[in-house]
């Protein structure tokens, strides 16, 4: 993963990033598919950025029902909100959807003035604020997708966003069927039945994670 292409390090040169990683106590860790990266109830001072693979962010209620809140693809930052609030237990679990490599960085060292007076440290802090704003927007989008009372309405809302984001009526979704159902807060079997009906009705075509919206 070339960190210069990530939102967190946007506008920074490779040499500047290398210098910053030393300041941030950066450490890379690898996780196997299904392994928990950060667990609900834990406290973290580090933010993570996915270098390879995919992380899924979820939460569970007291009855064991799971809701998917989002995913973190390569270049995506996670746990930034919890790391910025000292002592705040995580309300979500971050787990590896596939074999995943993560770079952890101490958020306190991002927020504090660098002892080496790096001229590019302020830019990193500004980028982190932008990342937090984008995450807030993503949560708002999920609320929008789950506002419809019908499963078809929720699917169409999400697919509409995918079309806008990809710029094409044909797109890949980052979730398997169970994860998509959890993200939209619907029953998996009912959702799969609705997808089949939508294909029969000529609304969509799909093959695994590839969806084509007919509009």
Q: 152 and 128, same structural domain?
A: no
pLDDT 10s digits, 74-110: 999 999 989 989 899 999 999 999 999 999 999 888 8
User: In this structure, what token pair is assigned to residue 39?
Assistant: 């667990």
Which is higher by pLDDT, 34 or 140? 34
**105, 137, 169 — which closes off a domain?**
137
Q: Are 84 and 107 in contact (CB under 8 A)?
A: yes
* 1/164 Cα distance (integer angstroms): 25
Range of the domain at 57: 3-137
Number of domains in the chain: 2
Rounded mean pLDDT of the chain?
90
For residue 114, pLDDT over 70 is answered with no
Give me the pLDDT at residue 115, please. Answer: 61
Query: What is the pLDDT averaged over residues 150-176?
Result: 93
Q: Are 32 and 99 in contact (CB under 8 A)?
A: yes
Q: 191 and 90, same structural domain?
A: no
Q: 95 and 66, same structural domain?
A: yes
Residue 114 falls in which region: left (phi positive, over 0), alpha (psi -120 to 50) or beta: beta
């Amino acid at each position: 993963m070339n960190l210069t292409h990530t939102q967190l390090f946007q506008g920074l040169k490779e040499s500047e990033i290398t210098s910053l990683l030393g300041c941030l106590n950066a450490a890379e860790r690898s996780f196997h598919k299904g392994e928990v990266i950060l667990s609900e109830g834990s406290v973290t001072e580090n933010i993570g950025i996915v270098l390879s693979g995919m992380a899924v962010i979820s939460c569970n209620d007291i009855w064991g029902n799971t809701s998917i809140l989002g995913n973190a693809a390569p270049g995506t930052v996670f746990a930034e909100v919890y790391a910025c609030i000292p002592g705040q237990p995580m309300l979500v679990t971050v787990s590896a959807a596939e074999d995943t490599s993560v770079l952890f960085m101490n958020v306190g060292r991002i927020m504090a003035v660098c002892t080496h007076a790096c001229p590019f440290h302020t830019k990193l802090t500004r980028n982190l604020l932008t990342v937090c704003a984008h995450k807030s927007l993503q949560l708002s989008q999920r609320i929008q997708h789950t506002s419809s009372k019908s499963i078809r309405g929720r699917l169409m809302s999400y697919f509409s966003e995918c079309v806008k984001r990809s710029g094409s009526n044909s797109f890949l979704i980052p979730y398997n069927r169970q994860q998509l159902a959890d993200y939209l807060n619907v029953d998996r079997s009912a959702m799969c039945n609705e997808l089949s009906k939508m294909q029969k009705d000529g609304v969509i075509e799909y093959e695994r994670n590839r969806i084509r919206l007919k509009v």
